[in-house]
Structure 1
Amino acid sequence: MGKPTEKAVEHKKLIELNEELENYFSNTIIPQLFVDANMILRKFTPAAMSHFQLSEDDLGKHITDVSKNIRFPTIIANIEEVISEKKGLEKEIQTTDKIWYQMNILPYIIKKENRTNGVIITFIDINDRIQILKGYEKLNRSYENIIHSISHDIKGPLSNIEGLVSVLKKARDSEAETSRIHDMLSKAVRNMRKTIDELADIRESDTDFAIEKERVNFENVIEDAKLALKDKIVESEAQIKTEIEVREIDFSRKNIRSIIYNLLSNAIKYKASDRPPEILIKTIESGDKILLSVSDNGLGIAQDKTEKIFDRYTRLVTDVEGTGMGLFIVKRMVEDMGGHVEVESKLGEGATFTIYFKGSNL
């Protein structure tokens, strides 16, 4: 009998290796792949077959032919690195089924020959952990939004109260006028307290990262915003019209209120010097989106500044009271809920801000 060929020896080794791994691979619930030193897929667990849509036909194929099922473009380079350096590698990846895994690539070393004969790739499901981290990131953004919103949104009611106190000082001789102003002050204080309570409301369910939505009536929220801005509206002689096609939306009440308050406040604040503000607030349904738009005839915005206005602390007009936070807050709240904001404007002619909310799936 002649001496076995090199190919026959290699084949025998592969058979022995397959037998050695067969029992383990067939019984584990963890997605695992065994790729040999020639980058050939030699074995995979039933869990890997399910997760990566592999079949028995994929055995014996080069890993490049099946790596499309694994959403990780550098897997080939990583395998080669582990085989070359005989050192394990660990990375977080997302597969084609949108599930996050911790991927561990370990060298398979034949001890007798001190040779790496391939790698075993293990995928540990960390999807829950990733979702929790994302939830905490969103919760942190919510807290930041609340801090910014409270500091920004209560300025209107405070100005209203300050104005009423000033009028009260001048009306001391009129008991009827004093009583009327007292009632208005009480109402203004209640409104400010309600605003703060709504903005600062972090529910227990928020720690479960379930966005708290409720059925919100646009007209009611618009009236709340107008009441908070009453002094500014009277002082500027602003004319506010509404065209409400979609009356309700499932959304966070405090966020809807802050969005409308900020857009309405800006429409009044950045008025043209030669004409009173004319403001139109509209809601419509467009495809699977609900649109809220606020249009004005104010100063307008230069085309090269329409993106910059949403940056934190950006103020294009410095002789008007403000902090540069309003539009930053609006954009962040909308985007955190899966929507987006657009602005159309001509300098000197006014601007239209349009909020695109998700529709019934919100």
Structure 2
Amino acid sequence: MEQPSKKTAEHRKLIELNDELENYFSNTIIPQLFVDADMILRKFTPPAMRHFRLSKADIGRHMDEVSSNIRFPTIIENIEEVIESNKDLEKEIQTTDKKWYQMNILPYIIRKENRANGVIITFIDINDRIEILKGYEKLNKSYESIIFSLSHDIKGPLSNIEGLIHLLKEIRGEEADTKEIIDMLSKSVGNLRKTVVELADIRESDTNFAKEAERVNFENLIEDAQLALKDKIHETGARFDMQINESEINLSRKNARSIIYNLMSNALKFKAPDRAPEIRIKTEKLNDYVLLSFSDNGLGIAEDKTDAVFERYVRLNNDVEGTGLGLFIVKRMVEDADGKIEVESSLGKGTTFRVFFKGDE
């Protein structure tokens, strides 16, 4: 019987290898493409067909014609780079439909000639991993904001307590007067405790990266802030004009409270020396947002300094006590809730802060 020629044996081996490759491509759960050196799509796995809406008709087509399916604009340049360099390329990519993949492009090398005759491209879905990393980033910011808020927001209640203790030391009045001050002191301590509890409350849901929001009432939060700043309001003779057209919003209570407290505190601190503060607070529905406006008739901010007020540790007026953290905290909290904050000011006339909270879906 005639022995098969060497050429026939090599042909059979090639068929077996091709069958193995076909079997691998048919059964892998990973989206993969095989593109030759002429940029022709030769093979793809079933998951690639599902992920990128490819069909059998796409086999044999130039990558220019199918690259839009993959929705990553520089894929052709990346393939060319690997073919020219004979080196692997690994990168995290986000497709135009906002999905994240780890893309690996490996050169398909002809060993005898030591050159790439195409590439094999693997896509690993890392969308969940990216979302988790984003969640941890947001959680870290949340912890940082809480630390800043604790150091900043408790100063008002502490000042109240210090003032009341001073009064107790000096008072020579009746027992009823002493009792009234002790009651006020007790209330201030309660407010301080409430502030610390609200700001330091990291719920289990935060670690699942689902923002813990609830229906909060603007009037209640404004009243809380006025109570915490009662001494400063009395000292400055501040007057309030409130137009609450949107009374509620779905938001983290501790963040909403801190935003309102900081804006009110600033309006009182940066009063003009020759007039009592007039603070106008307004809420209204504006397109997809609920707009909270805080306007005052205070010192105002120079036009070229308005952006700087939101930077950490920036203080534009050293004559006023502060840490330079308040508006930095406010901006971060607003943006973490998918909102935005704007400032408009005129030096010597006053300032308006506009906080745009994302409305309910």
* TM-score between both structures, scaled by the size of structure 2: 0.92
Flag structure 1 segments of 5+ consecutive residues without an equivalent: 1-13
**What code does the residue aligned with 2:100 have?**
W
Q: Give 1:272-291 correspondences, 5 Å limit.
A: 272-291=272-291
Match in the other structure for 2:321: 321
Quick one: structure 1 residues 113 and 20, their matched pair in 2 at CA, closer, same or farther if it must change by over 3 Å?
farther
C-alpha separation in 2, matches of 1:111 and 1:232: 81
C-alpha contact 1:102 1:126 (8 A) present in aligned 2: yes
Deviation digits for residues 67-103 of structure 1, max 9, x if unmatched?
2333433322322232233222211111233211111
Match in the other structure for 1:185: 185
Quick one: structure 1 residues 18 and 353, their matched pair in 2 at CA, closer, same or farther if it must change by over 3 Å?
farther
C-alpha separation in 2, matches of 1:178 and 1:217: 34
**What code does the residue aligned with 1:320 have?**
V
Match in the other structure for 2:220: 220
Helix, strand or coil at the partner of 1:331: helix
C-alpha separation in 1, matches of 2:74 and 2:16: 30
Shift in Å, 1:16: 9.5
**What code does the residue aligned with 1:231 have?**
D
Shift in Å, 1:170: 1.8
Helix, strand or coil at the partner of 1:96: coil
Helix, strand or coil at the partner of 1:250: strand
Helix, strand or coil at the partner of 1:39: coil
Deviation digits for residues 200-229 of structure 1, max 9, x if unmatched?
000111111111111111111111100110
Match in the other structure for 1:6: none
Match in the other structure for 2:243: 243
Match in the other structure for 2:336: 336
Deviation digits for residues 277-331 of structure 1, max 9, x if unmatched?
0001111111221111111111111211111111111111110011111110000
Match in the other structure for 2:24: 24
C-alpha contact 1:71 1:93 (8 A) present in aligned 2: no
Q: Percent identity?
A: 73
Q: Higher mean Cα deviation, 71-80 or 216-225?
A: 71-80
Deviation digits for residues 143-198 of structure 1, max 9, x if unmatched?
00000000000001111111111111221442111110000000000000000000
Q: Higher mean Cα deviation, 97-106 or 132-141?
A: 97-106
C-alpha contact 1:51 1:97 (8 A) present in aligned 2: no
Quick one: structure 1 residues 15 and 351, their matched pair in 2 at CA, closer, same or farther if it must change by over 3 Å?
farther
C-alpha separation in 2, matches of 1:62 and 1:332: 47
Helix, strand or coil at the partner of 1:348: coil
C-alpha separation in 1, matches of 2:35 and 2:23: 17
Match in the other structure for 2:231: 231
Quick one: structure 1 residues 15 and 353, their matched pair in 2 at CA, closer, same or farther if it must change by over 3 Å?
farther
**What code does the residue aligned with 1:91 have?**
K
Shift in Å, 1:55: 3.0
Q: Give 1:35-46 correspondences, 5 Å limit.
A: 35-46=35-46
Q: Give 1:1-362 correspondences, 5 Å limit.
A: 21-111=21-111, 113-361=113-361
Q: Higher mean Cα deviation, 64-73 or 80-89?
A: 64-73
Helix, strand or coil at the partner of 2:323: coil
Deviation digits for residues 7-40 of structure 1, max 9, x if unmatched?
xxxxxxx999876643322322211111101111
Match in the other structure for 2:10: none
* TM-score between both structures, scaled by the size of structure 1: 0.92
Aligned-residue CA RMSD (Å): 1.8
C-alpha separation in 1, matches of 2:355 and 2:129: 32
**What code does the residue aligned with 1:283 have?**
T
**What code does the residue aligned with 2:152 have?**
H
Give the length in aligned residue pairs.
348
C-alpha contact 1:309 1:315 (8 A) present in aligned 2: yes
**What code does the residue aligned with 1:281 have?**
I
C-alpha contact 2:72 2:96 (8 A) present in aligned 1: no
C-alpha contact 1:69 1:96 (8 A) present in aligned 2: no
Deviation digits for residues 245-264 of structure 1, max 9, x if unmatched?
11111100000000000000
C-alpha separation in 1, matches of 2:287 and 2:82: 50
Helix, strand or coil at the partner of 2:180: helix
Flag structure 2 segments of 5+ consecutive residues without an equivalent: 1-13
